[in-house]
Structure 1
Amino acid sequence: MAGVPDISLSDGSRIPQVGLGVLRVDDGEVGGVVESAIALGYRHIDTAAGYGNEGGVGRGLKASGYDSGPARRSLWLTTKLRDSEQGYDSALRAFDRQIGLLGTDYVDMYMIHWPTPFDWRADQVWKAFTRLRDEGRVRTLGVCNFLPEHLERLHAQTGEYPAVDQIELHPTWQQRDVTDFCRRKGIAVEAYSPIARGADLDAGDGVITAIAAAHGVSPAQVILRWHVENGTIVIPKSVHADRQRENLDLFGFSLSQAEHAAIDGLDGPTRAGHDPMTYAYA
C-alpha cells in the first residue's frame, strides 16, 4: 500500500488523511482493534469521551508501544469532550480524566463534540481548550458538527476558527455549504460516516459499484477515494483487519473526472445521523 498523505492544518500541524474511527466499538474490544490498525499502518486514531472506550484505546496504544516516546509522536490521537461537560472548569476536569484513560501525556486534537446552540457554551470551552494547548497537553483544537453560523459565533467570541470541523459527510449528504465555508476560512474538513454507515455503497442505482468494478476495487474504496481526492480527512470504522487494510489502501488508483463528477451528483437531502441544531451527545 502507498503511504497515507498528511493534511496541513491552519495551526501548522499535519494530520494523516486516513484514520480509524472507533464509534460503537466496546471498550473491551477496542484495544485489539487499535492494535490491529496500528500494525497495518494506521497512524491516526479518533475516539471520544461519549464513545465510552477511551480506556480501551489507551490499552491498545500501550500494547502496541504507541503510548509514549518517538512512536507516540508518530501517531495522531483525537478525542472529544462530552457535551454534558461543556464549560471552562468542567472541560478541564474532563480532560484530566480522559487523558488518564488514554494513558498518554497529550492528545493531538481535542474537539467540541456538538455545538448545542440551544445551550451554547463553546466560548467557555474554547478558553479551557486554549489553556490546554498553551500547556502543551493538546496540540490542535477542533470541533465536530459545527455549521457556518456556529463557526462564525465561535470566531466572534474567541477570535479563532478551529483547525478542523468533523462533520457527517458522504456522497448522499455532502454539506456543500459547510465545506465551502470551511475552505474559505482555512478549516480542514473531516468526514465521519464517510460511507453513510454502509448505506451509500449502493447509491445511485449502481454508480458506485460500476466505478468499483472498473478499477478492481470495492465500493467502499471508491467512496473513500472520492473523499481523499476532495482533500477531506476520513475516519472509517472497522473492527476487522481485512476491512481496515482495505480502507487504508486508497492510493493505488484514481477516479476519472467523469467518475468523480458522477459521485458528486449523488448528493441528496437526507442525513444518516443527527441534526446539529437540536442534538447533544452524552
Structure 2
Amino acid sequence: MILNETYALPNGVEIPKLGLGTWMIDDGAVAKAVRTAVDLGYQHIDTAQAYANERGVGEAVRDCGVPRADLFVTTKLDAGIKDHAGAKASIDGSLATLGLDYIDLMIIHSPQPWSEFGGADRHFEGNLLAWKALEEAYEAGKIRAIGVSNFQKADLANLLENASIKPMVNQILAHVSNTPFDLIADCERNSILVEAYSPVGHGKILNNAEIGAMASKYEVSVPQLCIRYCLELGLLPLPKTANPDHMRTNADVDFEISDADMETLKNAESIKDYGDASIFPVYGGKN
C-alpha cells in the first residue's frame, strides 16, 4: 500500500511517498481532517505558515494516538521572509504554533515574496540568509530535513553553489498536462526529491475527456490516475482534501500505468485556466 512506502532523502531520512495537503483547510477544520487521514493510514501531513492552520495540524498530530515518530510533518517558511533573523524567529514560531518538539521537513515557500512572484529579482542573497537559518535549525535538531518550494533552476543553483547543505526537496506545481520535465531532471541530477502539489491540477483535470477515458480504462478515478502518474515519475504527490472518501481513494493507487499511456499523459494538452485559483501567482502562469 502506497501509504506504507517511502522515499529516502539524501540525509537518510525516510519520507512517505504520499502526503496530505492542507492548503485552504481552515485552522478550525484541519485538526479533524488530519485525524481522519491518520486514521486511514496517512503518515505525511503538509502545512505552511501561509496556510494559517499550523495550530490545528499540530493539535491533530499530538492528539491522534499515533506516535510522533511515525508521522512526518512538513511546514513552509513564509515566502516574504528573506533575512536570517526573521527566518530564525519564524522557524521557532512554527515549532511553537505546531506545539511540536521538531519538524520533519521545513522548506522556503517561494524564492520570491508572493507579491513579486515571477519578477526579475530572484532574491538570491535573501534566500541564502533564510536558508542559513534553516541549516542552523537542522543542525540543532529542530528540523530533520530542509528544502524549498517553487524554486527554478537558477534559484536552486544559488543554494547548491553557495550553501553548506544542499536542498533535499523542491515542492513544485506538477501534474498531468503541466509537468516541468527539465526542472525535475535538474532536481534529480542534484539528488533533490520533487514533491508535486496540486497533482490533480486544482481539480481542472477532471474536465479533460481524454484523461477521463484513460482513467475508465484502468477502472480508477481521474485523481487516482493523476496521483499514480506522479508516482510513476518518481515524484511525491500531495493531494489536498478534507473529504474522507477522497482521502481513501487518493491512497488507493496500487496499479501501474503502461509506458504508452504514460507518454500520452506526459503530452496531454496544457491547462489554460485554473479557474478561481488563477488569482494565485503559481497558477497564473508565472514562475
Instruction: Please indicate, yes or no, whether the TM-score normalized by the shorter chain is above 0.5.
Output: yes
1:123 is the counterpart of 2:128:
yes
| Higher RCO structure (Cα 8 Å, ≥6 apart) | 1
Secondary structure of the corresponding residue to residue 45 of structure 2: strand
Secondary structure of the corresponding residue to residue 79 of structure 1: strand
Against the structure 1 CA distance between its residues 178 and 271, is the aligned structure 2 distance closer, same or farther, given a 3 Å change threshold? farther
Once the two structures are superposed, residues 227-259 of structure 1 have per-residue CA deviations (whole angstroms, 9 ceiling, x without a partner) of: 1111100110111101000111111x2111221
Q: CA deviation at 1:118?
A: 4.3
Structure 2: runs of 5 or more not aligned: 113-120, 275-279
1:221 to 221, 224, 244: 224
Paired position in structure 2 for 1:56:
56
1:198 to 199, 203, 208: 203
CA contact (8 A) 1:207 1:262 kept: no
CA contact (8 A) 1:174 1:267 kept: no
CA contact (8 A) 1:114 1:279 kept: no
**What is the TM-score with the length of structure 1 in the denominator?**
0.91
**What is the TM-score with the length of structure 2 in the denominator?**
0.89
1:170 to 159, 166, 175: 175
Against the structure 1 CA distance between its residues 110 and 223, is the aligned structure 2 distance closer, same or farther, given a 3 Å change threshold? same
The CA distance in 1 between the partners of 2:72 and 2:188, in whole Å, is: 22
The CA distance in 2 between the partners of 1:168 and 1:113, in whole Å, is: 12
Amino acid at match of 1:96: D
The CA distance in 2 between the partners of 1:143 and 1:168, in whole Å, is: 13
Q: CA deviation at 1:218?
A: 0.6
Against the structure 1 CA distance between its residues 258 and 187, is the aligned structure 2 distance closer, same or farther, given a 3 Å change threshold? same
The CA distance in 1 between the partners of 2:149 and 2:253, in whole Å, is: 25
After TM superposition, the structure 1 stretch with the greater mean CA deviation from structure 2, 15-24 or 160-169, is: 160-169
Paired position in structure 1 for 2:150:
145
1:274 is the counterpart of 2:281:
yes
1:247 is the counterpart of 2:250:
yes
CA contact (8 A) 2:148 2:167 kept: yes
The CA distance in 2 between the partners of 1:202 and 1:271, in whole Å, is: 11
Once the two structures are superposed, residues 121-162 of structure 1 have per-residue CA deviations (whole angstroms, 9 ceiling, x without a partner) of: 111111111110111010101100000011001222214431
Against the structure 1 CA distance between its residues 275 and 114, is the aligned structure 2 distance closer, same or farther, given a 3 Å change threshold? same
Q: Identity rate of aligned residues, in percent?
A: 33
2:107 to 96, 101, 111: 111
Q: CA deviation at 1:12?
A: 1.3
Paired position in structure 1 for 2:263:
261
Amino acid at match of 1:16: P
The CA distance in 2 between the partners of 1:162 and 1:104, in whole Å, is: 23
Structure 1: runs of 5 or more not aligned: none
C-alpha RMSD of the superposition? 2.1
